[in-house]
Structure 1
Amino acid sequence: MASVYFDAATRRHKGNSEPSVDSVTLDIEDGEFLVLVGPSGCGKSTTLRMLAGLEPVDEGRILINGHDQKGVRPRDRDVAMVFQSYALYPNMSAEENMAFALRNAGVSKADAHARVMEAAQILELEKLLKRKPGQLSGGQRQRVAMGRAIVRNPKVFCMDEPLSNLDAKLRVSTRAQIAALQRRLGVTTVYVTHDQTEAMTMGHRVAVLRDGVLQQVDTPEALYDHPVNTFVAGFIGSPAINLIDATVQDGRAEFFGAAIPLERDKLGAAERVTVGIRPESWTIGDSLAKNGVALKVELVESLGAEVFVYGKPEAAGEDGPRLTVRTDKKHRPRDGEIVRVTPATEEVHVFDAGSGARL
């Protein structure tokens, strides 16, 4: 077990004008499950590979248990990597794949077998140990790859999008297994994904990256309730938050017939702001309600107990933004219907229209 500290760690690839990872500073506690999340190309996998020693740190440093890892070989860092592609040897059985690193490290055959059996019991692989990867399903292969990491008893687990090759149903069950396994073992884990649902359901904390720059790191609840800018607000949450351009008038943000009171001391001289309203923060109510938006319904998606309504504000015209509103099946409107939706004032996020920073 170990703590991990990224101290302004930077990675520059040749031919790129901007760094792939730009001065990331991140303190990961012993036993913590931290998720790195962001869109493709944001630098999250590069950050993970820097920790594992598979990519150099061009500026700054990375410390494991307070020791600078500069010049330390990947094999000497005591970091176990779980790859997206499983990376199993096709000619070896599941048991042989799991024991391979131990045998190379000089662990006796008896000790290696004991560790493999213990990991197999945790991962429910006992009946599959004699099978080769070609005889296993995607979820089973992923568990073998996890077992190969577990038997090493490392200080840190590094997981690079390990669920991306699985189907939707299997992803849900496997992510629950990984989260439960991490809690049981207590090993510091850094997990990379582009799926914000995985990030929100698995991590103790989540670090959001954009273009190699760390945007925000906090608990999943804090990221959702208090995003520091429009990027984090838009990336975290499904369906995505509604980001609306609003005019500031008499201390209120006005948009499409609705008005939200603002805190004057945070506004400065701003004449425009960006208002963020999540789908569940609207109420479909009385068509005569004053502080609401007249919404022309374009699409209704029913997910059983909840319903998502997509439409455009009548006041915005054809070029206006499309808004998403969550309701329940008892208040499901019809396609083409005009409904009035009212935002919950206390749940509205307000951002600077230029920088996107939270006000």
Structure 2
Amino acid sequence: MATVYFDEATRRFSKDDAPAVDGITLDIADGEFLVLVGPSGCGKSTTLRMLAGLEPVDGGRILVDGHDQKGVRPRDRDIAMVFQSYALYPNMSAAQNMAFALDNAKVSKAETKQRVAEAAKILELEQLLDRKPGQMSGGQRQRVAMGRAIVRNPKVFCMDEPLSNLDAKLRVSTRSQIAGLQRRLGITTVYVTHDQVEAMTMGHRVAVLRDGRLQQVDTPERLYDHPVNTFVAAFIGSPAITLVESEVREGVAHVHGVPVPLDRAVAGRAGEKVVVGLRPESWHVVPTPDQRSDGSNGSSSSNGATGIRTDGSLALAVELVESLGAESFVYGRPVDAAEGADRVTVRLDKRTHLTVGDVVHVQPNHGEVHVFDAASGERIEA
């Protein structure tokens, strides 16, 4: 096990282009499972390869257990890499693939056999050790690739999108196996993925990258509840957050015309325009007049120009319904809104049934809004 420290680490593929990795500073604790996540081309795989020694560091440095890795060959770094493509030798059995690095390191046959047997037991591969990769499923081949890394007993695991070649069901089961395995072994792990759901369910902490720059490093819960900017807010969470540019008047933001009172400290730091973020669960459905138990006969009717009723709720025209059994998600646009208006996502419980073409009235939950500066996209803290 080891600590890992990226100290302003930078990688440039060309002097004329922007850095692929731009001055990343990141401290990874001994035994931590850290996930690097971000869109394609953001620099996450390059960051991982720099740690493994497969890419040079053009600026800054990378320390493992306090030792600068500059000039240290990949084979001497005691870092095991698990690739997306498995990279297994097709003419070797699972046992031979797992033992290959140990054979090259001149480890005794007895110790090699013991390590392979231990890894096979952990990964439930004992019945597959004599099979070649072509005789195994994708999930089994990925476990063999992981076993090849485990037998080395490295200081650090580097995993580069190891589940992306698996089908959806197998990805879910395998990611829980990887997370459980890391907990048992306690080996410092840096895991790369573009799948934010994978990142949120596996990592002790998650580092979000964009265009080679580190945006935020935090626990999954903090990333979801306190994103530092609109990029992190939009990237983390499924379905995605609704972000609406809104005017602020007298401490109140107007989201599609619906008044949303801001915290006094936030309002004091906000300009005339902010971006308000609302998660799908941050809305609640407001009953229409004919659903009310008080016999109301229309005192909360809609304003046709804006889709806002006199009770301050927003009328949404339903465009899509995703039913997931215990809950569903509704995607809609404000009634009579201009073309291209932001779409709103609302989570419903299983008792509420809507179809495309329906109109549903919703209001934001008090205290569940995220507020960002409209110019910079940075979060405005209370």
TM-score tier (shorter): over 0.9
- Structure 1 residue identity aligned to 2:226: H
1-side partners of 2:171 and 2:155: how far apart? 26
Residue 349 in structure 1 maps to residue 363 in structure 2:
no
Counterpart CA distance in 2 for 1:136 and 1:35 is: 28
Alpha-carbon distance in 2 for matches of 1:14, 1:256:
45
Deviation, structure 1 residue 286: 2.0
Could you tell me whether the CA contact under 8 Å between 2:243 and 2:278 is conserved in 1?
A: yes
Secondary structure at 2:357's aligned position in 1? coil
Shift of 1:260: 1.4
Range with bigger deviation, 310-319 or 209-218: 310-319
Question: Which residue of 1 is the match for residue 154 of structure 2?
Answer: 154
CA separation of 1:265 and 1:283: change in aligned 2, threshold 3 A: closer
Q: Can you list the C-alpha shifts for 1:168-193, whole angstroms capped at 9, x where unaligned?
A: 00000000000000000000000000
Match of 1:4 in 2: 4
The count of corresponding residues between Structure 1 and Structure 2 is: 359
Q: 1:136 to 1:16 in 2, by over 3 A?
A: farther
Contact 1:257 1:292 in 2 (8 A): no
Q: Distance in 1 between matches of 2:251 and 2:331?
A: 29
Is 2:325 the counterpart of 1:324? no
Conservation of the 8 A alpha-carbon contact between 1:5 and 1:25: yes
Deviations 1:269-321 (A, max 9, x none): 61111000001111112233723211111121211111111110125233211
2:112 matched residue in structure 1:
112
Match of 2:313? 292
Q: Deviations over 1:150-203 (max 9, x none)?
A: 000000000000000000000000000000000000000000000000100000
Q: Which amino acid is the alignment partner of residue 51 of structure 1?
A: L
Deviation readout 1:117-148 (Å, 9 max, x if unpaired): 00000000000000000000000000000000
User: Match for 2:272: what amino acid?
Assistant: E
Give TM-score, length-normalised by structure 1: 0.98
1:256 and 1:315 in contact (8 A); partners too: no
In the alignment, which residue of structure 1 is the partner of 2:122? 122
Shift of 1:256: 2.1
Identity across aligned pairs (percent)? 73
Where do residues 113-192 of structure 1 align in structure 2 (5 Å cutoff)? 113-192=113-192
Q: Quote the residue 1:273 is aligned against.
A: 274
What TM-score comes out, normalization by structure 2 length?
Answer: 0.92
Secondary structure at the counterpart of residue 178 of structure 1: helix
Is the Cα–Cα contact under 8 Å of residues 280 and 347 in structure 2 kept in the other structure? yes
* Greater Cα shift, 66-75 or 9-18: 9-18
Equivalent residue for 1:311?
332
Shift, 1:16, TM fit: 4.9
1:258 corresponds to which residue?
258
CA distance in 1, matches of 2:355, 2:109: 67
How far residue 211 of structure 1 moved from its aligned partner, in angstroms, is 0.2
Query: Would you say the 8 A contact 1:80–1:149 is kept in 2?
Result: yes
3-state secondary structure, aligned to 1:234: helix
In structure 1, what is the equivalent of residue 19 of structure 2?
19
Contact 1:308 1:324 in 2 (8 A): yes
2:40 counterpart letter in structure 1:
S
Give the secondary structure class of the aligned counterpart of 2:56: coil
- Taking the aligned partners of 2:210 and 2:153, their CA distance within structure 1 comes to 32
